[in-house]
Chains A and B, each alone.
Chain A
Amino acid sequence: MQKAIDIKENTDKFEELLRYIESQDKSQGILMQTLHKAQEIFGYLPIEVQKFISEKTKIPMAEIYGVATFYTQFSLEPKGQYTVGVCMGTACYVKSAQLVLDRLQQELKIKVGETTEDNVFSIQATRCLGCCGLAPVMMIGEDVYGKVDPKDIPNILKNYR
């Protein structure tokens, strides 16, 4: 089940979103930016937020849900404090990125797309991060780790807990 989000507690956030929606030129296809903005504000896209967008933009809810679920960057579930992204781009893959991912999943006891019990880490498999020279590459939040040896993962994770 999705976690519901308290509308009263989050009025500031909803107002910020509303200001954004009102500032947009509606003739130019605004749904993608609006969802990006909403995700930036709320961290994810709960149903209440999608309904709110539907109400304010007059875009049918079905369409919004369709778009929100089509793109992998939009998340309907809250994410952990840190997203650990393992690059599964081709250059990293041929340099054994799969072993990095396996080890990470084993360490955190979760699978790709899931979040740890304590809400600290989520794992994501990403595409080329543009630093293939450092393959295999792993990112935690904004920090990039290059030439990752699966053995080092427990130590790297320690810095974040």
Chain B
Amino acid sequence: MELRVTERVSKIRWIFLPLGMCALVAVGTHAAADVVGDKVLFAVDRVDAFFDAIFSSWSVTAPLVDLVGLGERTFFARAVALAWELSADALLAIPLLGYDERAAADELTIARVLVKRRPSLRLVQPAAALLVSIAGAAAVARLLQGTLLHYPLIGGFVAATALFGLFLLLAPRAVFRSLEHASAQKTAIGLLGLAILGPLAIAAVASL
């Protein structure tokens, strides 16, 4: 009976593994984007001050200074954080849906070959995927423990188990798939991708 359940579950791994990895990275990018939010607010203030200084010089554009008022800045900052997060999802999480599992040893061999190639911007995605999936695993564990906060022992155990499991079973696959995807692309993600993923990866570490 138990064997049958295991077999059935094995048959649908090709659906749930990519979905789970994609979700793990999405949770990680959100944890990172949430940290970025505050910094974005400061950046929005600088940009806003810059444009206010320009727009206020002509009577035609002066009303724009009022339009982006003090209240709207928080909204803008959060909107920038959201756009940042969704772009990172598109660059990191969505490609994970194309994961096609091979034997672990084969995946390791392929990964070694890909990493040893000429170092380039192609390594940005897997590196970001690593940090973001660690942040994602920590965020999932935190959510579990917080949900079970009235049962501290069970909560602590469940969170630690989930964290260990995610580090061991999902995060490495996400990194591998990211490496594989980045290597298969015709062009590297470029400086724009680096500008999106770089700060987010640092923020992912800060979110831990």
Co-complex (A, B): no
